[in-house]
Amino acid sequence: MTAQLELEMLPRLLLVDDEPRLLSSLHELLCERGYTLVTAQSGAEALAHLVAQKFDLVLLDLRLPDMSGHEVMDFINANQIGTDVIVMSGEVGIEAAIGALKRGAYDYLRKPYSREELLKTVTNALQQRRLEVANARIASQLENSEKLYRYLVDSSPDIIYTLDHEGRFTFVNDRAYQLLGFSREDLIGKHYAILIHDEDLERARYVFNERRVDERASRNVELRLKCHNHPGADRTFNNTLMTISLNSIGMHVPDRDVRKLEFFGTYGVARDITERKHAEEVINYQAYHDILTDLPNRMLFKDRLGLAVIQAKRKAAELAVMFIDLDRFKLVNDTLGHVKGDELLQQVAMRLKQCLRRGDTLARQGGDEFTIVLPELRDRTDASAIAEKFLECLHQSFDLDGHEVHISASIGIAVYPVDGETIDELLRHADIAMYQVKALGKNGHAFYHNSMLDVSRQKIALEQSLRKALDNDELEMHYQPQIDVVTGRIIGAEGLMRWNHPQRGLLTAGEFLPFAEENGLMLPISDWMIKALCRDMQIWNAAGGQSIRLSLNLSPQYLDRGDFFEKMRGALVRYGISPAQIEVEITENICIRSPQYAIEQLNKLCELGVSVAIDDFGTGYSSLSYLHRFPIHTIKIDQSFVREIHDEHGHYPVILAIISIARGLGLHLIAEGVETEVQARYLRSHGCVTMQGFLFHVPVSLAAFICVLEEHFAMPDAENNVASLQA
């Protein structure tokens, strides 16, 4: 019987979390403290326990499978269930914390929390609960026991005090000494102003002279109190005040004949909310600042820009808004990882801040985008000078744990009121100007002009048309032959996409694919390209054509998609195409994004029988070790290197190095963009015998390509074949 009684006296805790491992870990941690523990993995299970049993404390996760933790707290409050709640959540938003505190949560712990933090919070909550229970019990015995009354007051976690009608302390409990360092002897008979922070004296004058006794009395007024012998360590208190009268001090009911109670003094309770205020300040700061760079975020930037616009309008002055986008940041992120990318953003923020004037605001818009407001602009040269300073400071290399990184920036500038009179207009126009810089080669700045808006609208119109191009059957494949210059035979062709635009005519891939990549259209376009290539190959095979190999460029976005291999295999089966007739071209930067995943996907293609070529070799940033790891059959020399060949007896080390690499690894080699006899002779003399380019043939439609092939294979003389193609 005694053991049962002791068990019932142990604090009873309800642990609510839908994550079994976290719940088990929490149970094991608290079990060692001697508590009676009950667990629940859903909101419904928690509500059932709350109805069936009494709990001293609930440890509640906000994310539950069937309802939120806030709804559980609403149930507790609605049914007046006498339990305290500690909220534990991984949510970083301020709304979750505010919602929990508004619903009466004792505390809010953000996951992951430390063992010590949890145990301390649980201990404090249970201790406070015990004190509250003790206070209630002692209050009921107050009339019969002064000793119990004194214990209640001095054991309170709050400062309890009384003032006379002139504002002098007549009583204060021991908590004042524990929190502020002032003893009873220091305060009794002294005016309350001795404790009040100088800046809060005016507000305190109303609070400490409170004479009202009903709901109108001052409640939850926040004041800062001084700490004895601790300069700079002021604490914030929440004061709940009520007026007491001579007739009610003994808790006696006043005589019905008494019409007016004589004012005796003020009774008050002051609760230390310093830690809560600090937590609120942190939450408020984080709500308006970027956690990574500590810069103002988009919300705060718009607020400051709005104030700057009002000020500029009042003074009839100009201001500038800058939109900065980092060039090559995505490459750094893909190459070195997001951690190093975050470090780069932090270093960029520090450099940009050093270029600002007093009163300027730099904010992080998101990702690798920053915005700046330059108030009180004298003229545009001020904004141009600051933009140049930004570009200059970013030109210096960045050190990321031994990795030397170089980036630049594209900066767009909009000026108030010429380029817009509202926040949204200025930001939108600065953004448009930034994209204009991007289009012209990046690494520069430009002021917004109305003509840019027309270009932007044309881009939007082009994007909308491109979305309809697939449905309207406006896309087609053109083919550029690949020639073996030794035999003169066409051994393959590269498939190049073209768009028959209703108004603008035939567009090359470079004129519309960048829009497709930016707007998420590469996946459906790549699906179409695979089907079109196989369909065209089927037409050639059905015409009795000799076996040649067609190649197509594969977007990195498409390779990243998990089902691209199935798409390829399905198209080959559907059109009856031999996998050996297809070659997939990838850029070497595809190796950087996710090397192991890329290897797995390309190995599947090779097992199917499809060959793999690296396009634009030598222009990327991947390690040569990838050539050993990746299932590669062909290397294509980029046309930017071929264009440099002006003398067939000259020395072009990059070309020679690529040829040597291909020969050493036993890989097939193709030179792209061959346009002159000098280039062809130089390449052939040094071992590259497969070429494509305008010297031999321009890309042509399927019908024209079939005619070229029919004529070519009908001519037995190889030299005549080459001559006809060059013609």
pLDDT at 244 > cutoff 50: no
Q: Which homologous superfamily does the CATH classification assign to the domain defined by 2-140?
A: Response regulator (3.40.50.2300)
Containing 227, the helix (H) or strand (E) segment is none
* pLDDT digits 0-9 by tens, 272-323: 777 777 777 788 888 889 999 999 999 999 999 999 999 999 998 999 999 9
* pLDDT digits 0-9 by tens, 311-347: 999 998 999 999 999 988 888 887 788 899 999 999 9
pTM above 0.85, yes or no: no
Among 244-253, 545-554, 563-572, the range scoring the smallest mean pLDDT is 244-253
Among 28-32, 239-243, 363-367, 647-651, the range scoring the smallest mean pLDDT is 239-243
Q: Where in the chain is the domain with CATH 3.30.70.270?
A: 291-448
The sheet with strand 361-366 has its strands ordered as 361-366, 369-377, 318-327, 408-416, 444-447
Return the exposure string of 210-232: e unless at least 16 CB atoms fall within 10 Å of the residue's CB, then b.
Answer: beeeeeeebeebebbbbeeeeee
Task: Name the more confident of 5 and 431.
Answer: 431
Q: In which band, very low, low, confident or very high, does the pLDDT at 713 lie, cut at 50, 70 and 90?
A: confident
CATH number for the region 156-253+260-279 comes to 3.30.450.20
pLDDT at 350 > cutoff 90: yes
Can you give the pLDDT at residue 691?
96
Task: Name the more confident of 579 and 233.
Answer: 579
Q: For residue 224, what are the CA distances in angstroms to 188, 203, 208, 221, 270? A: 20, 11, 13, 10, 11
CATH number for the region 291-448 comes to 3.30.70.270
Helices (H) and strands (E) in the chain, counts: 29, 27
pLDDT over 70, % of the chain: 84
* pLDDT digits 0-9 by tens, 367-414: 899 999 999 888 888 899 999 999 999 999 999 888 888 899 999 999
* pLDDT digits 0-9 by tens, 562-618: 677 888 889 999 999 999 999 998 876 665 556 677 778 788 888 889 998 888 776
Highest mean predicted confidence (pLDDT) among 259-268, 363-372, 534-543: 363-372
Can you give the pLDDT at residue 358?
87
What's the rounded Cα separation, in Å, for the pair 540 and 635?
Answer: 26
Fold of 475-726: TIM Barrel (3.20.20)
* pLDDT digits 0-9 by tens, 71-122: 999 999 999 998 999 998 887 778 888 888 898 888 888 888 888 888 999 9
What's the rounded Cα separation, in Å, for the pair 87 and 107?
Answer: 6
pLDDT at 457 > cutoff 70: no
Task: Name the more confident of 373 and 621.
Answer: 373
pLDDT at 686 > cutoff 90: yes
Q: Where in the chain is the domain with CATH 3.20.20.450?
A: 475-726
Q: In which band, very low, low, confident or very high, does the pLDDT at 1 lie, cut at 50, 70 and 90?
A: very low
Q: Where in the chain is the domain with CATH 3.30.450.20?
A: 156-253+260-279
Q: In which band, very low, low, confident or very high, does the pLDDT at 423 lie, cut at 50, 70 and 90?
A: very high
Can you give the pLDDT at residue 162?
82
What's the rounded Cα separation, in Å, for the pair 210 and 212?
Answer: 6
Can you give the pLDDT at residue 158?
81
Can you give the pLDDT at residue 303?
93
What's the rounded Cα separation, in Å, for the pair 239 and 204?
Answer: 10
Q: Where in the chain is the domain with CATH 3.40.50.2300?
A: 2-140
Alpha helix stretches (DSSP H) within 403-521: 423-439, 450-469, 509-518
Can you give the pLDDT at residue 239?
53
* pLDDT digits 0-9 by tens, 123-173: 999 998 888 888 777 766 665 666 666 776 677 778 888 888 778 888 888
Task: Name the more confident of 520 and 479.
Answer: 479
Among 40-44, 216-220, 538-542, the range scoring the smallest mean pLDDT is 216-220
Can you give the pLDDT at residue 251?
29
**Segment 231-249 mean pLDDT:** 45
SS (H, E, C) 637-656: ECHHHHCCCCCCCCCCHHHH
